[in-house]
Chain A
C-alpha cells in the first residue's frame, strides 16, 4: 500500500515537536550540506591546483635536466630521465620532444620518434610559452620548454591523471555525507530531547484545555515557575481558567434568575391559557346549552301541525336559530383554534364514507335551494388524517357553495393523485374575481354581503378552513372565474396500505339514513329540563319511544316502569352532582349490557374525547343538528335490529 510523502510526513508535521525536530534536522542538513559541498569544492580545487603544480614542476625539472642529453641526441639518457619519473604518483605519460616536435623519449615507448598531432597535443603546442598547461580527460597536461643559450631546443611534456584525485574526492565527499547524516540524526535527537520538556508542559495544558472543553472547569493546572514562554502561557492559561470559572458561576446565577423569571412567566401564561380554556369551555357549554335546546324546540315546532301563519313564524324561528348556531360555532371555533386548543388527531378512515355522509346531510338543503348536489368518488381511498377537522372544512366549503350558487349544482369529488388524495368542492356559482381570491381567506371578508346579513355568516368560514387545513398539514387551494363557478380543493396523504386494510376491516357502513320514521326505544339523560324536553320531543317526533330523566337513575326508572330495555342512550356529559355523562353511560351499560351511547357536550376537550374513545362512546358536539342526530339514531337502531 503506497502512501504519498504528504501522508507520510503529515503526522510528523501536525505537532510542534515534529515541526521543530524536522526544522532542526532540515537546518542541519542544509548547513552540513553547504559545508560539505564547499569543503569538497575547495578540496577539489586545491587538489587540482596541486596536481597542476606537480605537473608543471615535473615538466620544468625534466626540461632543466634534458638539454645535455637532448643536445647529444642521447635517447638512452633521455629515456633514463623520463624513467626517473616512473614512480611519480598519478603519472600518465612523460615525453621529451626535440625542436622538431619528435618524441625523443617517452614513458610509452610506442610513441618514440612520432610527431604528435592529436587535439590536446596541438592545443598544448599552441598555448602561450611559459604557461603550457591544459586539462583534458580528467588529466592535467603540462609542457615546458627546453632552453639552452636562449634557444628552445625542445619540449618536455608530463601528463598526470586526475582519477586518483577524483577517487580521493569521492572518499572525502562520502565522509562528508556520512558526517552530514550523523549530524542530522544527532541534531534530531538533541532537538527531540530539548523539545520534549517543552511539549510535555504544552501537552499538560492541552489536556487541561480538553477537560475544560468537556465542561470540567475545576481542573487543577500545575504551577509553572519557569521564566520561558511556556511558563508564561501556563500562568496565563490558569488565570484564564479561573476567570472563566468565575464568569460561568456568574452566568449560571444570571441564567438561574432568568430561568426563574421565565418559569414564572410561563406559569402565568399557562394560567392565563388555562383561564382562557376554562372560559372557552364554559362559554361553549353555557352558550351552546340553551342554543341546543332552542334548536331542538324550533325543529320540533316546525314538525307540529300549525296553521299557515304559525308555520311561517316557526320556519323563521328555525332559520334564525340555525343562523345563530352557525355564528356561535364559528366564533367559538376560531377562538379555540387561535388558543391552540384544536389539535389534529390523525386516524385512518375511508374517505368515501365521510363524503357520503356529508352528501347525505346536505342533499336536502341543496334540494330546497333547487340545486343538484352530486358526489363523485374515484374508488376507495383511505386517508390518515383528522376526520373531524376534514369534515368541518368540507362542511364549510359545501355550505358556501350551496349558499352562493343560484343555479346548476355543486360537486363533491375525490380522486387519487399519486400517494395523495385530492378532495374538491366544485360549484357553478358566481365565481370569485382573481384579485379577491387571496382576500377571501382573511378574517371577516365577505364578497357578496355588503349589507352584513348575519344569515350569511361572519366571513370567518374560509379563514377557519384554511387554518384547519394547516393543522392537517395541507393548504386550501382555489381556482375560480367570475360567472363560471369556483373549485376549492386540498390534497391529503393516503394512508399506508396496512393501515387502510385495517380500517376497511373495522369500518362498517355507518352512514345510512333515509327519510321516514324510526322505531326503537331511546333513553335520554340531561339535567337541563329544556334540553331534556326538546330532545325527547324531537326523538319522539321521529317515531321512537323515549325514556327520559335528569339523571341516569331517573331515566332507568322510566324504562323499568315501561318494562323496556333501551336500544340507544343519549347522555349529556355535564350532569348534576357527582354524576357525568361517562359515569351515566357506564351505569347504563352495566344495567343493559353493551348498548350504544351518544355523549353530548358543548366542550369537546381532549380529555373528554380520550375518555369517550376509551369506553367506545360516540361523542357529539352541542348544539346538535337534528338531521345529524336523526342520522346517527337511524344507523344505531338499525344495528340493534
Chain B
C-alpha cells in the first residue's frame, strides 16, 4: 500500500506540476484613495431608500444638466434619526429635510436656499375608512391611531396638534402607533386595524391615484392648517454661486417645458426660492407642539 501511495503521489506530482506552480498564495486587490467628486444630496427618509432614489434621481440629473460639470448623488438614510445625525454631522452638501429638520439644520451650519411648493399641500390629513363612525375628534377617544413616525411634521405632528386643539387628549385618550412610512400609515387605516391615520396632501393624493378602488373605501376626516413646505438647504461651505445656481434651477424646474414633468409622481419638482426666514413659522409651530404634545426626543434641542 505504501508503494502504491508513493507511485500515486509521483504520478499526481507529474500531473499537477504546473497547477501547483500556478497556485497563488492569495489575491488581494490594490488601489488608491480617491476624493469624493459627487455632491451628496440627503433626502429625509419619508419612504424607503429605493423609492427615495427613484423619486429624486431625476431631479438630480436635471440639476447636473443645468449646471454642467457637477455631479449629484442621492443619499438616503435608514430612518429619521440617521438622517438627522448625518445632517448634524454635515454629511450632505445639500439636503431636503422636512420643515422641522429644515429649521433644525440651521443650527448645523446649513442655510435655506429653496423650498418645495405649494405650502397648501404641506398640511396634515386625518384619514379613516368611510365606514368608521367618526364625526368629531372626540369620537376617536379610546381608539388606536397610526402615523408614519413621531417626527413627521405634516403626517404626524400637524394632525396630532389638530386633534389636541379640538379636544382630544392625544397623550392619554388614544393609542398611537408609528408604522414607519407614509404609505404604511394609509394602508394600516384602510385595513381597519386602526381607526384613523395621519397623512399629508401629497401622499394621500399619490396613494389615491395609485389605489383608486381602495381610496373609495376611505374618507378624509379633517385637514390641518398648512406650514412651509420641505426646505432645500446648502451646507455653509458650498460656494454661494453654486448654491444659487442650484436654487434657481430648482425654482424653475416645474416650468421647464423640456423636462418630462410626468416622471415626478410625488410632485417633487415644485420649488421656489426661500431663505432661513421662511421657516420662522415652523419654529413657532414646534414650540407650540412641544407644549401641547411634546416633541419627540431627536427633535428636542439640547437646551430644552
Contacts and interface: CB of A to CB of B under 8 A. Distances in A.
Given A139-B24, A151-B57, A181-B4, A71 B50 contact: yes
Interface residues of A, number: 46
B242 to A, nearest CB: 20
A68 interface: yes
B8 A149 contact: no
Contact of B49 (A71, A101, A103): A71
B185 interface: no
Given A71-B53, A72-B82, A149-B53, A103 B12 contact: no
A67 B52 CA distance: 11
Contacts of B74: 71
A166 B19 contact: yes
B32 A114 contact: yes
A206 interface: no
A534 interface: no
A116 B12 contact: no
A452 to B, nearest CB: 102
A259 B126 CA distance: 148
B29 A161 contact: no
A117 B32 contact: yes
Contacts of B36: 100, 102
Contacts of B53: 67, 71, 148-149, 151, 153
A59 to B, nearest CB: 15
B50 A139 contact: no
B26 A161 contact: yes
B38 A149 contact: no
Interface in A98-118: 99-103, 108, 111, 113-118
B13 to A, nearest CB: 10
Contacts of B91: 73
Contacts, number: 118
Contacts of B4: 178, 181-182
B82 to A, nearest CB: 7
Contacts of A174: 8-9, 12
Given A100-B34, A111-B31, A177 B8 contact: yes
Contact of B8 (A153, A166, A181): A181
A148 B33 CA distance: 26
Contact of A178 (B8, B40, B45, B49): B8
A111 B19 contact: no
B36 to A, nearest CB: 7
A93 B75 contact: no
Interface string B68-106: 000001111110001000000001000000000000000
B49 A108 contact: no
B50 A117 contact: no
Interface residues of B, number: 41
Given A71-B76, A148-B50, A173-B12, A163 B29 contact: no
A77 B75 CA distance: 14
B27 A121 contact: no
B238 interface: no
Interface string B219-254: 000000000000000000000000000000000000
B24 A148 contact: no
Interface string B1-15: 000100111011001
Contacts of A148: 50, 53-54
Contacts of A182: 4
Contacts of B33: 113-115
Count chain B CB atoms within 10 A of each CB in A148, A151, A166, A170 and give the residue with the most: A148
Contact of A149 (B29, B57, B78): B57
Interface string A73-105: 110010000000000000011010001111100
A561 B32 CA distance: 162
Given A159-B27, A181-B4, A72 B34 contact: no
Given A108-B28, A118-B29, A161-B26, A68 B73 contact: no
Contact of B31 (A69, A74, A118): A118
Contacts of A108: 28
B16 A72 contact: no
Q: Chain A interface mostly helix, strand, loop or mixed?
A: mixed
A124 to B, nearest CB: 9
B48 interface: yes
B31 A117 contact: yes
B23 A163 contact: yes
B290 to A, nearest CB: 29
Interface in A463-490: none
A100 B82 CA distance: 23
B50 A68 contact: yes
A74 B78 CA distance: 8
Interface string A174-189: 1001100110000000
Given A68-B48, A100-B36, A102-B34, A173 B27 contact: no
A182 B19 CA distance: 26
B31 A72 contact: no
Interface in A126-152: 136-139, 141, 148-149, 151
A93 B50 contact: no
A65 to B, nearest CB: 12
Given A71-B53, A117-B32, A138 B75 contact: no
B284 interface: no
B30 interface: yes
A68 B76 contact: yes
B37 interface: yes
Given A100-B34, A102-B34, A138-B22, A93 B78 contact: no
A173 B15 contact: yes
Contacts of B52: 71
A611 B8 CA distance: 92
A399 interface: no
B27 A136 contact: yes
A10 interface: no
A114 B33 CA distance: 5
Count chain A CB atoms within 10 A of each CB in B26, B29, B78 and give the residue with the most: B29
B29 A173 contact: no
Interface string A431-452: 0000000000000000000000
A173 B50 contact: no
Contacts of B76: 68, 71-72
Contact of B29 (A67, A93, A99, A178): A93
A166 B23 contact: yes
A120 interface: yes
Contacts of B75: 71-73
B4 to A, nearest CB: 6
Contacts of B77: 72, 74
Contacts of A118: 29-31
Given A68-B48, A72-B77, A100 B37 contact: yes
A137 B57 CA distance: 39
Contacts of B9: 174
A111 to B, nearest CB: 6
13 contacts: A68-B50, A72-B77, A100-B37, A100-B38, A103-B31, A115-B32, A116-B31, A117-B32, A137-B26, A141-B27, A177-B8, A178-B4, A178-B8
Interface of B: 4, 7-9, 11-12, 15-16, 19, 22-24, 26-34, 36-38, 40, 45, 48-50, 52-54, 57, 73-78, 82, 91
Given A67-B50, A72-B45, A111-B28, 6 more contacts: A71-B53, A99-B73, A114-B33, A139-B24, A166-B16, A170-B12
Across the A-B interface, give the 10 residue pairs with the lowest CB-CB distance, nearest first. A149-B54, A137-B24, A116-B31, A114-B31, A71-B49, A68-B49, A115-B34, A71-B76, A72-B76, A116-B29
